[in-house]
Structure 1
Amino acid sequence: MSTAALTTNAPTNAPTNAPANPPASLDMRERFYAELDPVLDAHPAADVVLAVIGAGYMQRAIARHPGRVFDIGIREQALVGVAGGLALAGRRPIVHTFAPFLVERAYEQVKLDLGHQDVGALLVSAGASYDLSSAGRTHQTAADVALISALPGWTVHVPGHADEASELLHREAGGTGRVYVRLSGQRNSRPHPVDGRLHLLRDGAAGAPLVVAVGPMLDTVLEATAGLAVRVAWTATPHPLDAGGLRALAGPAPVLAVVEPYLEGTSAAAVAAALSDRPARVLHVGVPGETELRRYGSPRDHAAAHGLDAAGVRRRVATLLT
C-alpha cells in the first residue's frame, strides 16, 4: 500500500482548526494537536501517524501538509509498523493514539518494528493511567512507562504542563532517537525545565527526606507535603533517570519517596541502581499493581481510591518521618 493512500481526510464535523499561536489555556492533548502544524513546518522529515484518534483535530496540519499525516484506521499494530517503515525510509514518525493502544496493544511492534530495527520514532500518547476512566478498563493503563522503559534505547518524558509538552514535541521531532512522551489530563499550575534533570523545588534542612515528584504529580506533592519537614524535587524525564542529580540531592544516607502518576515502583530499579552504594530507605508511591478498580468513576475518584490525591500522598509520605 502506498503512503499516499493512507493520507487522512478530516471529517466534516471535526473541531475548529488549531490556531497558529495556541493559547496558554489549552491542556496537554489540545496543545499537542495545535502544535503539529508548526512542528511539520519546522521539521521537513517529520510525519504524523494516527489510528483515528486525533484526526478530527488536525485539519490545519492536514490541509497545509498533504501526504504527511497518515490515518491507519483502528489498527494499532499497523500504526507502529507503518511508523517503522517510515523511519527506515529516513522519515521521523510522530505516532499518536491513546496510551493503552499505543503501548500495550502494539507492544510487540514497538519492540520489533522500532527497537529491533534500531530506528527512531516519537510516540506521543494521551489518556494516561485513568484519565479516560469513564471509558472503562480498555482505555486505562498504568503500566505504559514500565513497559517502554523495559526496552533498550528509549527515553520517556512525562510532562506536567502544556508548555513542557510543546517544548518536548518541538525538540524531539527534530531528533533521531526512540522517545515516548506521555500526555496527561492532570497538570501543574506552571511549567518547569524539561532538560532531563532532577530539580529541587522546595528546600529544607540538610538530610531531610526527599520527595521526588514525576511530571503532573508536582502540585499534588507540594500540597500533600505542606508543613512537613521534607524537601521536594521534580523531573519530567523518569527514564533514563537523572542518577547523578538524585545522588547529589539524596545525600549519604538517603530517605526518599518517589511519587509517580503510573504503576507504583516503575522507577524502583533506576533509584536502587543510583543509590546502590548507600544505605537508603525508599518509598514508591503510584498506582498499586495489585489493585484493579472495576467501577468507572472520574479520574479524581480513581486518584483518591489509589491514594494519589493530596490526602493519600500525605499519608504515605508521612511514614518517612516516623
Structure 2
Amino acid sequence: MDTMRDRFIATTSRLLDEDARLAVVLAEISRDGFDGAHRGHPDRVINVGIREQLLLGVGGGMALAGMRPVMHTFASFLVERPFEQVKLDFGHQDVGGVLVSAGASYDWPAGGFTHMSPGDVALLDTLEGWTVHVPGHPDEAESLIRHAVAGDDRVYVRLSLQSNAQGLDVDGARLLRVREGHAGVFVAVGPMLDNVLAATEGLDVTVLYATTVRPFDGEALRAAVAGARASDVVLVEPYLAGTSTTAANDALADVAHRILGLGVSREELRRYGSLDEHLAAQGLDAQTLRERISGFLGRGR
C-alpha cells in the first residue's frame, strides 16, 4: 500500500493539471516526487530550499494574488518553525491556503526531536479559522486533500506513516459512528482508529471516528453521549494529549460528563527507537490503551 505522502504527491500532481489557480510550494522535502509536476508546470511548482519561513511567505503572496497555494514539508518545519508567517501571512492577511505536513508526531524517530511535532494541532488552535484534517488512511488523505484544495479557506492536512488497515468514506466535516454501545463514547482520531477498535473489543461502547478535528463535530458527540447510559468520553489523538478536550467539553457544556484525553505526552522521550516503540512508550498501542481505558471506565462506576 502506498503511504499518505505518496498519495498526496500523486493527487496534487494530477490536480495541478486540472486547476490553473493551484500552486505547490516546497522546502526540499518531497522535491523528487514532484519532479514530473514541475516539468509540466514550472511556474506553479516552486522549491524554495530549506527556508521554511520563506515557504509560508511565498505561499501567502500567491494567495494574495488569487492563487490556491499548497505548502508542504515536515510538520515541525511547516507549523512550528514558521509559526509567525502562518499567523501573519495567512491569518492576519485573511487569505486561504493549504498546509500539508509529513512526519506527524514521531514518524521518523531517527531524525530526533527536531523532526517531531506532537504540538502542531494545539498550536494552530491558538489561531482562528483553520480547518484541520487528520486522515487515517491514504484513501482518506486523497479525499481530504481534494476537499481542501477545492476551497478558499485555511486548511491543515496532517499526514502520517501510521495508517489504519482500511479507509472510510470521509467528508471533511462529520464524525463517523463505527461502533455502537452504551457504556461510554470514544473518539478515535485518524490513524488511532484501529488501535482504539482493538482496545475496545468486547466493550459496550460507541466509537466515533474523526478525520476532521477542527471544526470539531460537537453535534455528533452530543448525540452519541445522549444515546449512552454513561456520559464517559475518551479522546484518543495521535498528537498532544488533551488537544481536543476543550472542544469536547464545550460541546457537552450542559451535560454532566467525564473526559479522558489520551495522546502524546508533554514529556520528551529522549530515545530514537521506531514508530511502534514510540506508540508503545506513549501508551497508544492497543494493549496499553485497553488498560488505561478500563481503569477510567471502572472508576466511573
TM-score, L = length of structure 1: 0.90
Overall identity of the aligned pairs, in %: 53
Partner of 2:37: 61
Among 230, 235, 243, the alignment partner of 2:205 is: 230
Among 251, 256, 275, the alignment partner of 1:279 is: 256
Partner of 1:239: 214
What is the rounded CA distance, in whole Å, between the counterparts of 1:97 and 1:228 in structure 2?
Answer: 39
| Residues 1:310 and 2:286 aligned together | yes
Deviation track 1:46-85 (CA, whole Å, cap 9, x = no partner) reads 0000001010111221111121100011010110011000
Confirm or deny: 8 A CA contact 1:43 1:174 kept in the other structure: no
What is the rounded CA distance, in whole Å, between the counterparts of 1:138 and 1:66 in structure 2?
Answer: 31
Letter in 2 for 1:77: Q
Letter in 1 for 2:19: H
Letter in 2 for 1:170: R
Shift of 1:35: 1.5
Partner of 1:42: 18
Partner of 1:295: 271
What is the rounded CA distance, in whole Å, between the counterparts of 1:85 and 1:270 in structure 2?
Answer: 32
Shift of 1:228: 2.0
Deviation track 1:249-277 (CA, whole Å, cap 9, x = no partner) reads 11186211000000000001100100000
Confirm or deny: 8 A CA contact 2:180 2:204 kept in the other structure: no
Confirm or deny: 8 A CA contact 1:158 1:238 kept in the other structure: yes
What is the rounded CA distance, in whole Å, between the counterparts of 2:86 and 2:272 in structure 1?
Answer: 29
| Residues 1:261 and 2:235 aligned together | no
Among 127, 130, 134, the alignment partner of 2:106 is: 130
| Residues 1:199 and 2:180 aligned together | no
Deviation track 1:33-56 (CA, whole Å, cap 9, x = no partner) reads 111221111221000000010101
Partner of 1:164: 140
Among 36, 52, 62, the alignment partner of 2:28 is: 52
Residue 78 of structure 2 aligns to a residue whose secondary structure is helix
What is the rounded CA distance, in whole Å, between the counterparts of 1:165 and 1:34 in structure 2?
Answer: 11
Deviation track 1:268-314 (CA, whole Å, cap 9, x = no partner) reads 1100100000111111110012x110011111111101101111211
TM-score, L = length of structure 2: 0.96
Partner of 2:153: 177
Partner of 2:84: 108
Shift of 1:321: 2.5
Confirm or deny: 8 A CA contact 2:232 2:297 kept in the other structure: no
Confirm or deny: 8 A CA contact 1:158 1:237 kept in the other structure: yes
Residue 292 of structure 1 aligns to a residue whose secondary structure is coil
Letter in 2 for 1:239: R
What is the rounded CA distance, in whole Å, between the counterparts of 1:50 and 1:66 in structure 2?
Answer: 13
| Residues 1:120 and 2:92 aligned together | no
What is the rounded CA distance, in whole Å, between the counterparts of 1:318 and 1:238 in structure 2?
Answer: 25
Corresponding residue pairs, total: 295
Residue 185 of structure 1 aligns to a residue whose secondary structure is coil
Deviation track 1:161-209 (CA, whole Å, cap 9, x = no partner) reads 10111111122112100000000111111111322111111112xx321
What is the rounded CA distance, in whole Å, between the counterparts of 1:321 and 1:255 in structure 2?
Answer: 7
Q: CA RMSD in A?
A: 1.1
What is the rounded CA distance, in whole Å, between the counterparts of 2:269 and 2:26 in structure 1?
Answer: 29
Deviation track 1:213-253 (CA, whole Å, cap 9, x = no partner) reads 00110001011111222221101011111011110011186
Letter in 2 for 1:211: F
Residue 131 of structure 1 aligns to a residue whose secondary structure is coil
| Residues 1:251 and 2:222 aligned together | no
What is the rounded CA distance, in whole Å, between the counterparts of 2:277 and 2:223 in structure 1?
Answer: 36
Partner of 1:28: 4
Shift of 1:149: 2.0
What is the rounded CA distance, in whole Å, between the counterparts of 1:229 and 1:285 in structure 2?
Answer: 19
What is the rounded CA distance, in whole Å, between the counterparts of 2:235 and 2:111 in structure 1?
Answer: 29
Partner of 2:193: 218
Partner of 1:21: none
Letter in 1 for 2:37: A
* Deviation beyond 2 Å, 4+ runs, structure 1: none
Partner of 1:5: none
Shift of 1:317: 1.1
What is the rounded CA distance, in whole Å, between the counterparts of 1:238 and 1:101 in structure 2?
Answer: 21
